[in-house]
């Protein structure tokens, strides 16, 4: 049985002090407004992160005292800066925004802040922010993803050779499940950088990382194979993401650096 989503922004000021405690968990989804090739909308990462966060908070919010913050949609997307429509913040700006966010949350009784990040380009910066907010504001900070990006140790379908990092089979499938009216499958083609897939170290998910822009590989800026996407695969991936995040929240609820809770 699911319940309504517990939205932090729907509370009144006095209710924050009345309803939140040091055991409360605040979930901050992060998406992006960035190009995803000709077949997906700019809002793809925001749509996915928001939907996973809402479903998970609806499922376990009352059990674990979880509250959902509004999705942060403008983030660090400068690997797509070459494309009109991409709206991005610099690393310096986003770190400052996250610090301001942490400062404000620290005025509430809640002590646990979870970033649910739908855009892989944010991950490294969010790991930095986790420690900065821990140090500056005393918050317990966590970073989760709807699905770990392939370039950060996650998987993509075998047909993509581990290279489905942006607008490929899985991401397109989830959008076909969540927002099919925003997907144009007639414009998606296979875009897999097979040459680097043969590398042992210097490849997506390899032990040697590299700086890249999304149009370094193909001029239309997506990397993967959307032609294999289906709504049914998207439903399975989405359900798995929600389940995984719910399980993560259960561990976050009792996490205390190995000390007794």
CATH number of the domain bearing residue 177: 3.40.50.10310
Task: Check residue 2 and give its pLDDT.
Answer: 54
Q: What is the pLDDT of residues 179-209, one digit of tens each?
A: 999 999 999 999 999 999 999 999 998 999 9
Token pair, residue 129, equals 């922010």
Residue 154 domain flag: yes
Residue 261 domain flag: no
Domains held by the chain: number: 1
Q: What are phi and psi of 76, to 5 degrees?
A: -90, 95
User: Which stretches of the chain are DSSP H helices?
Assistant: 13-19, 44-64, 91-105, 123-137, 169-178, 194-197, 231-254
Domain of residue 33 covers: 8-254
**Strand, helix or coil for residue 109:** coil
Residue 2 domain flag: no
Residue 149 domain flag: yes
Residue 3 domain flag: no
Token pair, residue 8, equals 């932090």
What is the rounded average pLDDT of the residues 77-99?
Answer: 98
CA distance 31 to 77: 10
Residue 122 domain flag: yes
Residue 198 domain flag: yes
* Percentage with pLDDT > 70 across the chain: 99
Residue 157 domain flag: yes
Q: What is the pLDDT of residues 9-39, one digit of tens each?
A: 999 999 999 999 999 999 999 999 999 999 9
């Amino acid at each position: 049985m699911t319940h309504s989503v517990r939205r932090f922004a729907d509370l009144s000021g006095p209710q924050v002090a009345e309803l939140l405690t040091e055991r409360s968990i605040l979930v901050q989804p992060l998406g992006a407004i960035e190009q995803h090739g000709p077949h997906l909308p700019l809002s793809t990462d925001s749509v996915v992160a928001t939907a996973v966060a809402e479903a998970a908070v609806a499922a376990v919010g009352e059990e674990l005292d979880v509250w959902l913050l509004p999705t942060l949609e403008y983030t660090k997307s400068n690997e797509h800066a070459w494309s009109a429509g991409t709206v991005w913040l610099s690393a310096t700006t986003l770190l400052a925004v996250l610090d301001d966010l942490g400062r404000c949350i620290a005025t509430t009784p809640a002590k646990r802040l979870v970033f649910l990040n739908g855009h892989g380009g944010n991950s490294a910066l969010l790991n930095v922010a986790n420690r900065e907010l821990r140090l500056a504001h005393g918050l317990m900070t966590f970073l989760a993803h709807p699905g770990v990006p392939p370039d950060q140790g996650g998987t993509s379908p075998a047909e993509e050779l581990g290279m489905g990092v942006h607008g490929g089979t899985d991401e397109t499938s989830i959008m076909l499940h969540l927002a099919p009216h925003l997907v144009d499958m007639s414009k998606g083609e296979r875009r897999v950088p097979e040459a680097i897939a043969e590398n042992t170290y210097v490849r997506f998910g390899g032990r040697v990382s590299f700086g890249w822009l999304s149009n370094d590989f193909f001029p239309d800026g997506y990397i993967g194979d959307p032609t294999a996407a289906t709504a049914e695969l998207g439903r399975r991936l989405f359900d798995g993401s929600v389940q995984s995040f719910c399980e993560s929240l259960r561990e976050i609820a009792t996490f205390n650096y190995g000390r007794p809770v």
